[in-house]
Amino acid sequence: MNSMKLSLLIPIFAVVAASTLQSTHAAETIESVRQRFEGQNVEEIPDFQKHVVPMMGRLGCNGRACHGSFQGQGGFRLSLFGYDFKMDHEGMGERIDLDEPVESYALQKATLTETHEGGKRMDVGSWEYNIFLNWIKGGAKPVESPVELIELVVTPKEVVFSGKGQTEPLKVIAVWKDGTQEDVTVMCRYTTNDDMICSINEDGVVSSGEVGDSHVVVAYDKAVVPVPVLRPVSDQTGDRYPQIAGRTDIDQHVITKLRKMGIVPSDVCDDAEFLRRVSLDMTGTLPTPSQVRAFLADSSPDKREQKIDELLETPAYSAWWTVQLSDWTGSSDASLNNVNPASRQRGSQDWYDWIYKRVNENVPYDEIVENIVVAKSRQPGESYREYSERMSHYAADKNASFADQEGLIYFWGRNTFRQTEDRAIGFAYTFMATRIQCAQCHKHPFDVWTQTDFQEFEQFFARVNFARNGSDRAEYNKMIKELGLEGLRGNEQRRAVEKALKEGKAIPFPEVVINKPRLSPAARKRLQAAKAKGRNVKIPAKSAKLLGEQVVDVGNVDDPRTALMDWLRQSPTQLFAKAFVNRVWANYFNKGIVEPTDDLSLGNPPSNEALLNYLAQGFIDSGYDMKWVHRQICLSDTYQRSWKPNETNIQDERNFSRSVPRRLPAEVAFDALTMATTNDARAKTFSSDLKGRALTRTSPPRNANSGTDYALAVFGRSSRESNCDCDRSSEASLLQTLFVRNDRETLEMLDGRGSWVAQLTGRQPNKNASNNRQANRRKAGEQMFKSLMRQLVKAKKSKDTEQIALLEKRIANVERQLDKLPKDEQKTKKPADFVADQAVEEAYLRTVSRFPTDQEREIALSYVAGSDDPGAGLKDLMWALINTKEFMVNH
């Protein structure tokens, strides 16, 4: 262990030791302030940090709707949730009267002696009133040095109800570093994560609601503690729960929770369901008909395990998980337009290639992240010119790949990642799936981080610079002069640079630079004087803090990013590992163990903490082997359960007792449409030959008005615009339905050149010139229809009735014009070997990855065989199948 890592760990050991010592030698607990201050002659002087500020929180004074808002109220502003003691004390100064405490304006407002827009907050003589009064009588002392809260102990640790309307009081004990313990139950801030399941009042009394499970969250000082609240859905709990074997560790953790909830899991799904589900989830690819037949005919007891291992080795697996890693890390052409001077549009392709190579080689996840976080441009001993020459050679060589670069420097060059606050927020989101932006302005309401923590965390990013003109300005200017580019700016310079590269010349490249620490003029002068005298020089300390954990002197480390990477691996919170396994889990189950998946905070606890901890620790122990996570999940009965519910789990979507049908992600949906309808030769190579697949689209397009880009936008492809997993949408919409039902591209897939229907029936497009003109008119009309429909969706969201009426009128007019145009005529040549029964069976295998039932076979065969044009009949069958829910969702 190097000295940096050891220095980071020492504070952790100290905290753990202090906590252990405090628990071992527990002091007597001071009773609640409610009991202590309810009398009229109380002499105790309350503490501003422990009592006065929390009391203002209880009364709602420092909430968002009152004095805790950014504007404050009535000229009086408090820190939101009360964690800036200095600000709050100064704000109280004009509203207290030390000479006549009872005449204090703050008391008169709160008791409605003076008009108060916020209404009456307490009664004269109440225990709340006495706390404020005694604090003022005692001199209204501020917080000279905050006392550290070691632990907030909440009992019971879990609340289990058996019926609606039951109550359970919580008791909360604050354990302080000075050795004192106090009952602070009435001083806490309480929230519920689902008020349908449970509610909680200001005194910490939990009340039960509907069946299900959630959490109540207790907040006091800097601590945030979630408490699980359960109301079983049946009486099949504990000893009455049926004997269900947990084959894997995942299953055992899931069943332990289900037993508490009285939820009986669904049976394991059949082979056809499993094959389709795991192929789509793991590789974003439908199984071929031959793969379905072979898998269903295989009687090997371990065939599912073999299939999982087989899928993990396909290029499609690497492509689909490259898409997801690109989502999380924020790759998009819109934010990468200046990272590669050789081509403004090449940034996202380089990014995709770099990640794909490492996923395909199963490089450990922490190594991938390390080569992003601490990415360096230059190789050891390389000058700026040599670096630019090397990068120019790569850019000019069509056979070279950015994937061979050691680090993904583009991560630091995004337009949305320049300011230190943006970097702090983006870093936490990407690698810890944590939202820290609230702490920019105030104490995070659902976690331990304060505004100070955020500001100290920012310091790790202050010295990192993506220098678009390089760090050696003299050499950069020299290269510009040699290329004859002096005086050129903007697009004119960019075009000249691209031309110079094509001519085989070396061009200057941007690079990641770690700037020297900024010094004040006085500090710089002292440093220069010390150097002149030959003394050992140390830069003045510049401390940064790793989100409430270790403090690092970033002024005296070569690269502050190394401390960030060490911390990701070593933090006791394990947020780095938890973020990855939780996002992977959500891909397979439609919901994360923590949901939303990018909000791993204390106030948003996991639905199954033991399960999340198991996966995170196992991931770490595996050496951050990404395939270990996929394999563990997919081998479990939990993943392999049927979507068909029973009476106990029909409403369950958070405890993983069954498979929840979920709409296919955008790229997967479009590729499924393509694969289901394409000819046999292309379908056979779909998981190995990635050319033309939606999974290889490297960036959300700037404009998505037609073709594949339009389809992906309609189906909710990630926009990669913000630090949020919600950039990808799984919501159903009218535009999706219209695309699959009547979009020209979908209809062309069904029986156009290269389609399966054309292959099977010999259907060929008619090349008549007149029909081509009609087809062009139809295409233009359909584009207009799609554009108007998008506008209509927006108008309905904004409830613009006038615009809605106008658009509906225009849409009706376009539809009338389209109805007048003849549809594409096609000639059919019925092959001698066309067998309707085989075609029907193949259609089902291609789309829903199973054989048709007897009834389905009979209906479909009757339609296809009875049609005068077998191609038209088969096209209609395929159209009907791709428009079923069974095709468009994974189940």
Strand partners, 225: 218
Residue pair 234/162 in contact by the 8 Å Cβ criterion: no
* Res. 768: pLDDT tops 50: no
* Res. 769: pLDDT tops 60: no
Looking at per-residue confidence, does 664 or 527 come out higher? 664
Q: Which whole number is the average pLDDT over 108-112?
A: 85
What local confidence, expressed as pLDDT, does residue 505 receive? 92
Q: Longest Cα pair distance anywhere in the chain, in angstroms?
A: 107
* Res. 6: pLDDT tops 70: no
* Res. 793: pLDDT tops 80: no
Quickly count: other Cβ atoms within 10 Å of residue 195's Cβ: 13
Q: Worst-scoring range by mean pLDDT, 25-29, 334-338, 679-683, 875-879?
A: 25-29
Q: Match domain 149-244 to its CATH number in 2.60.40.1080, 3.40.190.170, 3.40.30.110, 1.10.1740.10.
A: 2.60.40.1080
Q: What is the pLDDT of residues 581-612, one digit of tens each?
A: 999 999 999 999 999 999 998 889 999 999 99
Q: In 3-state terms, what secondary structure has residue 254?
A: helix
Q: What DSSP designation does 49 have?
A: I
Q: What is the pLDDT of residues 7-60, one digit of tens each?
A: 333 333 333 333 433 443 456 999 999 999 998 888 899 998 999 888 888 888
- What is the C-alpha separation between 171 and 655, in angstroms, rounded? 28
- Cα 283 off chain centre by: 20
What local confidence, expressed as pLDDT, does residue 71 receive? 65
- What is the C-alpha separation between 213 and 472, in angstroms, rounded? 59
DSSP, residue by residue, 702-756? S--SSHHHHHHHHTT-----SS-GGGS-----HHHHHHHHH-HHHHHHHHSTTBH
Four-residue CA torsion sign, 409, 411, 414, 419: negative
* Res. 335: pLDDT tops 50: yes
Looking at per-residue confidence, does 385 or 109 come out higher? 385
Residue pair 400/353 in contact by the 8 Å Cβ criterion: no
Q: Worst-scoring range by mean pLDDT, 138-147, 623-632, 851-860?
A: 138-147
What local confidence, expressed as pLDDT, does residue 822 receive? 63
- What is the C-alpha separation between 581 and 594, in angstroms, rounded? 10
Q: Which whole number is the average pLDDT over 228-251?
A: 95
CA separation, residue 836 to residues 314, 858, 861, 865 (Å): 33, 11, 6, 6
**167-169 and 181-183 strand pairing:** unpaired
Q: Worst-scoring range by mean pLDDT, 62-76, 221-235, 265-279, 731-745?
A: 62-76
| pLDDT band at residue 794 under the 50/70/90 scheme | confident
* Res. 795: pLDDT tops 90: no
| Span between the terminal Cα atoms of the chain, in Å | 47
Looking at per-residue confidence, does 804 or 472 come out higher? 472
What local confidence, expressed as pLDDT, does residue 292 receive? 97
Quickly count: other Cβ atoms within 10 Å of residue 813's Cβ: 12
Cα-atom radius of gyration of the chain, to the nearest Å?
A: 32
Query: Which among 423, 435, 486, 490 has a CA at the least distance from the CA of 460?
Result: 423
* Res. 798: pLDDT tops 80: no
Q: In sequence order, which residues have a C-beta less than 8 Å from that of residue 87 and are 6 or more positions away?
A: 77, 78, 79
What local confidence, expressed as pLDDT, does residue 645 receive? 97
Query: Which among 227, 214, 192, 211 has a CA at the least distance from the CA of 263?
Result: 211
Q: Which whole number is the average pLDDT over 446-465?
A: 81
* Res. 767: pLDDT tops 70: no
At residue 76, what are phi and psi to the nearest 5 degrees? -120, 120
- What is the C-alpha separation between 121 and 109, in angstroms, rounded? 8
> Domain boundaries in the chain?
31-137, 149-244, 271-313+572-662, 318-417+471-508, 434-470+514-563, 664-766+825-890
Q: Which whole number is the average pLDDT over 115-131?
A: 87
pTM: 0.87
Residue pair 818/785 in contact by the 8 Å Cβ criterion: yes
What local confidence, expressed as pLDDT, does residue 773 receive? 56
Half-sphere exposure of 777 (CA within 13 A, CB side): 16
Q: What DSSP designation does 52 have?
A: I
In the block, residue with structure tokens 């949906």: 669
Share of the chain above pLDDT 90, in %: 57
Looking at per-residue confidence, does 810 or 820 come out higher? 810
Four-residue CA torsion sign, 794, 797, 800, 802: positive
Cβ burial of 76 (10 Å; 0-12, 13-18, 19+) is middle
CA separation, residue 789 to residues 776, 807, 810, 832 (Å): 20, 8, 10, 44
Q: Worst-scoring range by mean pLDDT, 250-259, 294-303, 569-578, 819-828?
A: 819-828
Residue pair 727/719 in contact by the 8 Å Cβ criterion: yes
Query: Which among 688, 606, 760 has a CA at the least distance from the CA of 253?
Result: 606
Looking at per-residue confidence, does 69 or 161 come out higher? 161
Looking at per-residue confidence, does 819 or 316 come out higher? 316
Quickly count: other Cβ atoms within 10 Å of residue 815's Cβ: 12
CA angle 607, 609, 610 (to 5 degrees): 130
Q: Worst-scoring range by mean pLDDT, 696-700, 819-823, 882-886?
A: 819-823
What local confidence, expressed as pLDDT, does residue 1 receive? 37
Residue pair 242/218 in contact by the 8 Å Cβ criterion: no
Share of the chain above pLDDT 70, in %: 87
The one-letter code for the residue type at 309 is D
Q: What DSSP designation does 314 have?
A: S
CA separation, residue 454 to residues 422, 450, 549, 654 (Å): 11, 6, 12, 32
**181-183 and 29-30 strand pairing:** parallel
Residue pair 625/574 in contact by the 8 Å Cβ criterion: no
Looking at per-residue confidence, does 760 or 289 come out higher? 289
* Res. 125: pLDDT tops 50: yes
Residue pair 605/341 in contact by the 8 Å Cβ criterion: no
Strand partners, 453: none
Helix (H) or strand (E) holding 280: helix 271-283
Q: Which whole number is the average pLDDT over 139-159?
A: 93
Q: What is the pLDDT of residues 533-556, one digit of tens each?
A: 666 655 445 667 787 677 888 878
Residue pair 356/322 in contact by the 8 Å Cβ criterion: yes
What local confidence, expressed as pLDDT, does residue 3 receive? 38
* Res. 468: pLDDT tops 50: yes
Helix (H) or strand (E) holding 842: helix 836-847
In the block, residue with structure tokens 């209404």: 119
Omega of the bond prior to 315 within 30 degrees of 0, cis? no
Buried b (16+ CB within 10 A) or exposed e, 666-690: bbbbbbbbbbbbbeeebbeebbeeb
Averaged confidence pLDDT in the chain: 87
Q: In 3-state terms, what secondary structure has residue 765?
A: strand
Q: How many helices (H) and strands (E) does the chain have?
A: 36, 19
- Cα 392 off chain centre by: 35
